[in-house]
């Protein structure tokens, strides 16, 4: 090239010339990335199945408690401010 800029791509590992091998390598890399993800993949155009459709009320409550405890652990525990001192207004409906 006249400008001295190359369009060559450099890779850490040798690229396979076989398309099946490249496809397999790509799938392995994708699986390794997916193993560390905390999201759920839902195929395009398909509805996401409800996670607790067949659960009993007790199982749903236990799942909600686990979720709340997980969020509390992330934010550093429960609040130490008494409920009476939380910001907001109290409305009386008579």
Residue 15: the pLDDT is 55
Better-scored residue on pLDDT, 88 or 4:
88
Residue 81 contacts residue 87 (beta carbons within 8 Å): no
pTM: 0.37
The pLDDT assigned to 69 comes to: 87
CB 16 within 8 A of CB 22: yes
Give the separation between CA 22 and CA 16, rounded to whole angstroms: 6
Tell me which residue of 52, 48, 82, 81 sits closest to 67, measured CA to CA.
Answer: 52
Q: Which residue ranges make up each domain of the chain?
A: 19-81
| Residues 39-81: tens digit of each pLDDT | 777 788 888 878 888 999 999 999 999 998 888 888 887 777 8
pLDDT one-digit tens code per residue, 8-43: 555 555 555 688 888 889 999 988 887 877 777 778
Closest CA to 63 of 78, 53, 77: 53
| Residues 26, 33: Cα–Cα separation, whole Å | 11
């Amino acid at each position: 090239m006249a400008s001295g800029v190359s369009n060559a791509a450099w890779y850490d590992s040798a690229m396979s010339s076989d398309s099946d091998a490249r496809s397999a390598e790509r799938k392995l890399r994708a699986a390794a990335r997916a193993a560390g993800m905390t999201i759920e993949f839902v195929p395009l155009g398909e509805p996401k199945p409800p996670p607790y459709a067949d659960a009993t009320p007790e199982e749903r409550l236990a799942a909600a408690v686990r979720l709340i405890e997980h969020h509390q652990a992330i934010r550093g525990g429960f609040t130490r401010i008494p409920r009476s001192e939380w910001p907001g207004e109290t409305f009386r409906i008579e």
